[in-house]
């Protein structure tokens, strides 16, 4: 099996690569961001892409639709355990979703399922997703993919200029979008939005 590990943390990439090599006998390659991943994909076709969501630039959620159009089978492995992220990842084209706390043997089983074109969601996240669907009033469901990416960046300490540079948009656009996000979430102050972002989107 061929596996491409896309994660911006070198230690995580090395650990995942070592795991799939030792436990599955897989051929694995690494990429630190979307641009590096595309460079690998120009000459090498993996059976599964192991994708982190918290990548620099457009982030993993932004990469998923393109990967799906290319017919790549993607298993997201993320620090985010909130069910909303799993929902958005699956909607964007991922076949599987697991947290970075998942046991190695469970991750191997997930990789095998995704390689076969089957779906996988870590059980505790799947349960949370089911419960969240019951709560149809969850405010976060009003947010777009871009909204979520802005909140993720904000939760991890990025200012408006940092967010603009990371997403390739203007400072004014970021400010306007954050105002719309506050409206969607019923939040009056930026300080409250930052707190909400940390609670729901921060990397844990």
Q: Is the pLDDT of residue 80 over 50?
A: yes
CATH number of the domain at 144, please.
1.10.10.10
Whether the CB-CB separation of 193 and 154 falls below 8 Å is answered with yes
**Same-domain status, 58 and 86:** yes
List pLDDT tens digits, range 2-61: 999 999 999 999 999 999 999 999 999 999 999 999 999 999 999 999 999 988 887 898
Overall number of domains in the chain: 2
* pLDDT band at 84; cut points 50, 70, 90: confident
pTM over 0.85: no
In whole angstroms, give the CA distance from residue 187 to residue 114: 39
Q: Among residues 134, 157, 183, which one ends one of the domains?
A: 134
- Cα angle value 7/11/29 (rounded, 5°): 55
> 175: domain range?
140-201
Which one has a higher pLDDT value, 66 or 132? 66
Complete edge-to-edge strand list for the sheet that includes strand 48-51:
27-31, 2-6, 48-51, 74-78, 96-99, 120-121
- The residues facing 2 across adjacent strands are 27
* pLDDT band at 144; cut points 50, 70, 90: confident
Q: Among residues 134, 166, 185, which one ends one of the domains?
A: 134
Whether the CB-CB separation of 11 and 38 falls below 8 Å is answered with no
List pLDDT tens digits, range 101-120: 999 999 999 999 999 999 99
**Same-domain status, 130 and 144:** no
Whether the CB-CB separation of 32 and 7 falls below 8 Å is answered with yes
**Same-domain status, 38 and 121:** yes
**Same-domain status, 63 and 89:** yes
Q: Phi and psi at residue 77, in whole multiples of 5°?
A: -125, 110
What is the pLDDT at residue 133? Answer: 53
Encoded tokens for 135: 């709560």
**Same-domain status, 70 and 167:** no
What is the pLDDT at residue 203? Answer: 54
């Amino acid at each position: 099996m061929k596996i491409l590990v896309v994660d911006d943390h070198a230690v995580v990439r090395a650990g995942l690569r070592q795991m799939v090599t030792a436990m599955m006998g897989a051929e694995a390659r690494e990429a630190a961001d979307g641009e590096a991943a595309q460079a690998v994909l120009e000459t090498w076709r993996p059976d599964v892409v192991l994708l982190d969501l918290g990548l620099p630039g457009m982030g993993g959620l932004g990469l998923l639709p393109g990967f799906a159009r290319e017919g790549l089978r993607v298993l997201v492995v993320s620090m985010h355990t909130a069910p909303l992220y799993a929902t958005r990842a699956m909607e964007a084209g991922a076949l599987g979703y697991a947290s970075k706390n998942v046991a190695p043997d469970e991750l191997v089983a997930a990789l095998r399922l995704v390689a076969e074109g089957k779906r996988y969601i870590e059980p505790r996240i799947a349960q949370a997703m089911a419960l969240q669907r019951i709560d149809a009033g969850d405010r976060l469901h009003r947010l777009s993919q871009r909204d979520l990416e802005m909140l993720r960046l904000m939760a991890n300490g990025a200012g408006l200029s940092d967010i603009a540079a990371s997403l390739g948009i203007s400072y004014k656009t970021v400010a306007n979008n954050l105002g719309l996000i506050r409206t969607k979430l019923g939040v009056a102050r930026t300080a409250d939005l930052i707190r909400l972002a940390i609670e729901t989107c921060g990397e844990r």
